[in-house]
Amino acid sequence: MKNKIAFFILILLLIPGIAVAGSKLGIIEVQRVLETSEPGRQALGQLTLDFEGMREDLEQERSKVEQLRQELQKQSMVLSQEAQQDMEAELRQKMQQFQKKYQSYQIQMQQKEEELSEPIIDLLFEVINNYAVENDFDMILDAQGSGLIYAREGINITGEIIEEVNKAWEAGNN
């Protein structure tokens, strides 16, 4: 997903001299399209649901670690040195397990995000290409990734692209 966007932006950055007088230019806010279009909202909803279970699991693990840490602090004065070392080893082990689980969940979420966003990105670029051809655009740039500092309001076509993505998504899901 990110590679496609980066490649698209790279191509656009390599040809800065093409924008000449009389060219029809448009800009879109790709991130806004991904966040506010229907397929983007559905993907975000799915990610949120998936993350919630992971978050609850991590919170339980964190609570166990914290409980063991507090228990160790309370009993440190009364425990034998061997018992204290055993408890400290158990705490370290639980902390390592928590960190491994956290990292595993992060990887899972990144993979899920890529899995969910890849078809949306593909659809987005298809919609942009069709929109550009149908509306006689010479170039459409990503407002955030192009280094764009200023553009007239009239050349921002993000709203139109969101509408087209929603239509295409609905047509593909029926």
Q: Is the pLDDT of residue 174 over 80?
A: no
CB 137 within 8 A of CB 25: yes
Q: Mapping DSSP to helix (H, G, I), strand (E, B) and coil, where does residue 26 land?
A: strand
Q: Is the pLDDT of residue 19 over 50?
A: no
Give CA torsion, residues 81, 86, 87, 91, to 10 deg: 130
CA–CA separation, 75 vs 91, rounded Å? 14
Q: What is the DSSP letter of 141?
A: E
CA–CA separation, 21 vs 45, rounded Å? 43
Q: Mapping DSSP to helix (H, G, I), strand (E, B) and coil, where does residue 33 land?
A: helix
Q: What is the DSSP letter of 155?
A: G
What is the predicted pLDDT for the residue at 25? 84
The amino acid present at 89, given as its one-letter code, is A
pLDDT in tens, 45-67: 988 988 998 999 999 999 999 99
Q: What is the DSSP letter of 114?
A: H
CA–CA separation, 11 vs 139, rounded Å? 11
Domains delineated in the chain = 2-172 (3.30.910.20)
Averaged confidence pLDDT in the chain: 83
What is the predicted pLDDT for the residue at 76? 78
CA–CA separation, 66 vs 116, rounded Å? 35
Highest mean pLDDT among 3-7, 11-15, 123-127: 123-127
